[in-house]
Amino acid sequence: MRLRQLIIQNLVWRGLYFLSLFLLNVFVSRFFRAEASGSLYYIVNNLSLLLLLLGLSLESAATYYVAKNEIKPGQMALLCVLWTLLATLLSLVCQQWMGQPAEGLFASRQEYTLACGCYIAGVLLTTYFNALFMARQEYLVPNLILFLVNLFMLLIIVLAHSMPGHPHLVFFYLASFLLQGILVTGAYLLSMASTIRLGLPGLRECRKIGRYSLVALGANLVFFLVYRIDYWLVSKFCSPAQLGNYIQVSKLGQILLLLPAIFAANIFPRAASGKGEEIHLAIRRIIQMLFLTGLVACLVLSLTGWWLFPFLYGSSFSLMPTCFILLVPGILALTMVRILAAYFAGINKVRYNLTGAAISLVLIVIVDFIFIPRYGINAAAATSSLGYISYLAFLLFSYRRHFSFRLIDFWAWQDIRKGNIVQMLKKELTGNTFPEP
């Protein structure tokens, strides 16, 4: 399948899934309001860190070795299922040290533990088998399943509005991730039923998987902390309602970074193929286009956020507009970081990404501890922007060691002035920038 078709398919189906995820997030926020939804998403953030550690970034090795045909899909699939079971059991043990859930979210401590186990197992299965689908460059089936389950959960939340109480609604929300995982796993196994042979990889293959996964785990852990460390700091110094507002601003920023992430996924293999000066021109054009698109989107949201955010999420999210404006420079910086980081990963220079992320992480932690106690979530947003800008500055400095260019070239938009933005986007999607090998 041509590059153009792959990107469009990824855009359509991933976009559909993220649309359902956004709607689900809006309904959850309106239903539980800022305080309770902030507590819920804080629990999810803690579970995400646990997921990262217990999951060992096995999906990275799955995508890499299955795509290269160095490990059979059936071997990787069985290993992923068995590791999910083991990781889920370990997570249940870890629940004893994760503290008590927020009052009113769960009917009992046992329900909380079971819900967390369902979430861990579901997200691991979804992540692993989505990676195996990606190794086959198949986007429709997994994203359609995630989309439909999200719609089902939306229906449950809507129906809950007419019920006298909702003591088990959070449990159903977290358990819906297990449903997604089971369906994605089943869909993959059924699609491969005629060719797949289940079995465990040999000792040599397990060593390869372990080495690759642990390197990816180290990188993913640093990146995770860069993007999420402020959640814990805001929780420490601010009220649950402020935490809920801040998490929603952060989630909105993640949505705005969806398009850069999709382009970054296609930059990686092209950079690995070694296109020289040609890849530099493509990166510059893509960054100009994405930066301008992101700038327009952020300006619109900044000007309308004072009524749009409370309208979407509810009146308890009135703190979002100012916080979002302070995060805008960071969002625009991450737009460029995603593309440059994909380039460095493609040329096997991940150390640049790790160093830049480490600088950003140290800066965010130090400044947050100083200013969040006094200025709250606005300080957290401004500090995140500062950290992301420092990340970008380091990557640009490193990038200049590979190509000779003026920094102003990334913002001069001379390529955009020669043709409209739609034509440029079409050119990127048709693969003219990156000739087919």
| pLDDT of 277 strictly over 60 | no
Our count of domains for the chain comes to 2
Q: Could you tell me the residue range of the domain that residue 189 belongs to?
A: 1-201
CB count, 10 Å around CB of 95? 18
Q: Identify whether residues 281 and 382 lie together within a single domain.
A: yes
Q: Identify whether residues 185 and 244 lie together within a single domain.
A: no
Is position 220 within any domain? no
Q: Identify whether residues 397 and 281 lie together within a single domain.
A: yes
Per-residue pLDDT of 351-396, as tens digits, reads: 888 899 999 999 999 999 999 999 999 999 999 999 999 999 999 9
> 248, 305 in Cβ contact below 8 A?
no
Alpha-carbon span 349 to 332, nearest angstrom: 23
Q: Identify whether residues 69 and 140 lie together within a single domain.
A: yes
Q: Identify whether residues 417 and 376 lie together within a single domain.
A: yes
Is position 216 within any domain? no
Q: Identify whether residues 112 and 254 lie together within a single domain.
A: no
Q: Identify whether residues 111 and 13 lie together within a single domain.
A: yes
The pLDDT-based confidence of 35 (bands split at 50, 70, 90) is: confident
Tokens coding 394: 């380091």
| pLDDT for position 412 | 57
Q: Identify whether residues 321 and 431 lie together within a single domain.
A: yes
Per-residue pLDDT of 49-74, as tens digits, reads: 999 999 998 988 887 788 778 888 88
Is position 291 within any domain? yes
Is position 211 within any domain? no
Is position 207 within any domain? no
> 113, 95 in Cβ contact below 8 A?
yes
| pLDDT for position 298 | 96
Alpha-carbon span 245 to 33, nearest angstrom: 10
| pLDDT for position 94 | 84
Is position 217 within any domain? no
**What per-residue string of b and e applies to 296-325 under the rule 16 or more CB within 10 Å gives b?**
ebbeebeeebeeebbebbbebbebbbbbbb
Is position 181 within any domain? yes
Note the pTM of the prediction, 2 decimals.
0.82
What are the two backbone dihedrals, phi and then psi, of residue 208, each rounded to the nearest 5 degrees?
Answer: -60, -45
Per-residue pLDDT of 129-180, as tens digits, reads: 988 887 777 778 898 999 999 999 999 888 876 665 566 888 999 999 999 9
Q: Identify whether residues 20 and 135 lie together within a single domain.
A: yes
Q: By percentage, how much of the chain surpasses pLDDT 70? A: 83
From 242, 139, 117, select the one nearest 187 (Cα to Cα): 139
Alpha-carbon span 343 to 353, nearest angstrom: 10
Q: Identify whether residues 23 and 155 lie together within a single domain.
A: yes
CB-based contacts of 288-291 (< 8 A; 24+ apart in sequence) = 288/410, 288/411, 288/412, 288/413, 288/415, 288/416, 289/416, 289/421, 289/424, 289/425, 289/428, 290/259, 290/260, 290/263, 290/335, 290/336, 290/339, 291/332, 291/335, 291/336, 291/410, 291/411
Question: Which H, E and C letters describe 94-133, residue by residue?
Answer: HHHHCCCCCCCCCCCHHHHHHHHHHHHHHHHHHHHHHHHH
| Residue where one domain finishes, among candidates 201, 217, 242 | 201
Identify the weakest region by mean pLDDT among 97-111, 324-338, 392-406: 97-111
